[in-house]
Amino acid sequence: MAKFNSHIKSLRIVLKPAQPIFEGGLKVGDTPGEYAQFSDGQFETANEEHVSKLVGLSTFGIDFWKVSEESSPIDPPTVDGELQKLTKLELQTLAGEKGVTVDGAETKARLIELLQGK
């Protein structure tokens, strides 16, 4: 099971677009598409094809990222210097867990400032 997080609470990514169905030259319907629908900033899938498509997107690591299966939730750092040791992705995840609104364009320094305010 692959897990993804996003700072966009209801992100929807088209994995396979819907296709029209024609009979005798007339459109009679559509085949359903396949989507990665994030709910409250989270999405899970066991489909390896979907995982590889998501990881290959240009917005991977910016709008959404893969959560390590063996990682546990980040404990809040107790000393401000510990925030410096975290990666930008870890800071974004921590911000989401703490209810700090981020749009993904913040620098690491700005993320630390926002987290120190919480």
pLDDT by 10s per residue, the chain, length 118: 899 999 899 999 999 999 999 999 999 999 999 999 999 999 999 999 999 999 999 989 888 999 876 544 555 544 456 778 788 888 888 888 888 888 888 888 888 888 887 5
For residue 69, what pLDDT is reported?
A: 62
Residue for token pair 């559509």: 30
How far is CA 31 from each of CA 1, 17, 36, rounded to the nearest angstrom? 26, 9, 17
Where in the chain are the domains?
Answer: 1-67, 72-118
**Closest by alpha carbon to 108, among 78, 82, 88?**
88
Structure tokens at 117: 């305010």
**What are the E-state strand segments in the chain?**
2-6, 12-16, 19-23, 26-31, 34-37, 42-45, 64-67
At 68 the three-state DSSP class reads coil
Residue with tokens 């030259």: 25
What is the reported pLDDT for 81? 64
Do the beta carbons of residue 86 and residue 72 sit within 8 Å? no
Distance, C-alpha 92 to centroid of its chain: 11
For 84, the enclosing helix (H) or strand (E) is helix 80-85
In this prediction, residue 24 carries a pLDDT of 93
